Structure 1
């Protein structure tokens, strides 16, 4: 799907839940942008969603007794087999229309944390359920559907160069 069609599709999905967003009727998820730093080069990890196979970042629901950044780190491990250091402070937020199993759609606000990957494991809980792949930031941004996430992915190299 072309970049323009991805954008239109993401916005069309959000339009269907605008009323819910305005009422504050949203769910919250926590995610990790997983990065590998090679000096001047940066790789970003994307995974496929289990239901549609589209490219996404590891994300999931809140967990009792875990802070947002801890949930992001846990999701990255479970969904992609990566281990690393996660930033406590959010890198950003994005909104998307989450399709529920029963067929409904609800707006989701995703709090995103950067995770610097130190290790990847060949065996992890969701192995075989998703494709896990590294991309340069430009490629990764072109593959994700959500415009706000796309923008965040593009900002990663500049952010890493200014720390």
Structure 2
């Protein structure tokens, strides 16, 4: 391949072959305990790694509303105050059913938890844990999410 052809491929054709980034929303569930901010992490269903409650947009709900619904379904957040302005965005590779990986940008909404219950839709599929925000930054894999947690 000539340099001119490689340059044309890299700048024009290669970007068209990439999968478009998808969008998800997440609830950064927090509480204050002894003057420190704690974050609620949950395990993912597939790999068991620590994540925030998150999911795809939901018809009929705005982004914070969809994030709050995910917090209920995945972590048992029954009552909370969710901030309508995002605290950040992070990216990761989502493995879809069938093994295909797609790039995803997750918009994160801080959510002050008022009530947490033990009986929720995905209770049998996930583990949840309250941890100090700085500790949570060390438990998640995504560098941009680590940065968001360190700023808390």
- What range is the shorter-chain TM-score in? 0.7 to 0.9
Shift of 1:74: 0.6
Distance in 1 between residues matched to 2:16 and 2:87, nearest whole Å? 21
Q: Deviations over 1:10-47 (max 9, x none)?
A: xxxxxxxxx66996711100001100013521110000
Is the 1:20–1:106 Cα contact (8 Å) retained in structure 2? no
Aligned to 1:3: none
Aligned to 1:62: 57
Aligned to 1:6: none
Change (3 A) 1:59 1:35: same
Structure 1 residue ranges (4+ consecutive) displaced by more than 2 angstroms after TM superposition = 19-24
- State the superposition RMSD in angstroms: 1.8
Distance in 1 between residues matched to 2:148 and 2:17, nearest whole Å? 23
Aligned to 1:8: none
Change (3 A) 1:103 1:135: same
Q: Deviations over 1:97-122 (max 9, x none)?
A: 11111111110000000000001111
Task: Report the count of equivalent residues.
Answer: 138
Distance in 2 between residues matched to 1:21 and 1:87, nearest whole Å? 36
Stretch moving more, 46-55 or 96-105: 96-105
The reply on whether 1:99 has 2:68 as its aligned counterpart is: no
Is the 1:80–1:132 Cα contact (8 Å) retained in structure 2? yes
Residue ranges of structure 1 left out of the alignment (5+ in a row): 1-18, 157-163
Residue 141 of structure 2: which of 142, 145, 159 is its match? 145
Q: Deviations over 1:57-87 (max 9, x none)?
A: 0000011010000001110011000121100
Aligned to 1:133: 129
Scaled by the length of structure 1, the TM-score of the pair is 0.80
Residue ranges of structure 2 left out of the alignment (5+ in a row): 1-13
Is the 1:36–1:44 Cα contact (8 Å) retained in structure 2? yes
Is the 1:20–1:107 Cα contact (8 Å) retained in structure 2? no
Residue 52 of structure 1: which of 47, 60, 83 is its match? 47
